[in-house]
Amino acid sequence: MNINGWDAMISFGFNAAISVRVSNELGAGNARAAKFSVVVVSITTVVIGVVCTAVVLGTKDFFPYLFTNDEAVAKETTRLSILLALTVLLNGLQPVLSGVAVGAGWQSVVAYINIGCYYIVGLPLGILLGFVFKFGTMGIWGGMIGGICLQTLILIGIVATRNWEKEACEAESRVHRWGGAIPHK
């Protein structure tokens, strides 16, 4: 969980940065700059996630001993390392995509996606795999990863299929409606 937390801090930093960047660019009517920012931060996040995933998988027999001296705990951590690697990868991209969506003004859509993927898919799937099919910790965690996968795929679909020019026009109109000024291009 410490490793996942370290990786998540990077993602949450990107989440905040991309949210502000997208909202500023769309509000200024710069759809192309907003889209470019999304591409750059997404690629950067995926690269960081792949590197962290590779580190987890490459050191799965050694990193548990950074946190414990107990042989049984270390062995179980090594067994669960593939799930940690997947979590690190997905938890890198998902907050960035959520940040893009929030910056574009789609907060309610993101909220419904998060709730649906967590409570309707991930949690029941985790309970089913963990307790009904008796996969234990791997099943519970695997179910939650399934929810995160679905959430990430939905957010990728939404971000990839949006008309960024239309989003910029809508954001500009909101800025005007609320009394803001848009700099001349």
3-class DSSP assignment, residue 180 = coil
Question: CA dist 77 to 8, 84, 181, Å?
Answer: 19, 9, 54
Measured between alpha carbons, how far is 45 from 90 in angstroms, rounded to an integer? Answer: 10
- pLDDT digits (tens), the chain, 185 positions: 777 788 888 888 999 999 999 999 998 889 999 999 999 999 999 999 999 999 999 999 999 999 899 999 999 999 999 999 999 999 888 899 999 999 999 999 999 999 999 999 999 999 999 999 999 999 999 999 999 999 999 999 999 999 999 999 998 888 878 877 666 65
- Residue 172's pLDDT is what? 83
Q: Alpha helix (H) ranges present in the chain?
A: 2-27, 31-58, 71-79, 81-103, 107-115, 123-127, 136-161, 164-177
- Residue 91's pLDDT is what? 84
- Residue 86's pLDDT is what? 94
3-class DSSP assignment, residue 1 = coil
Domains of the chain by residue range = 2-177
- Residue 82's pLDDT is what? 95
First-to-last alpha carbon distance for the chain, in angstroms, is 46
State the number of CA atoms in the 13 A half-sphere of 71 facing the CB.
0
Measured between alpha carbons, how far is 15 from 7 in angstroms, rounded to an integer? Answer: 13
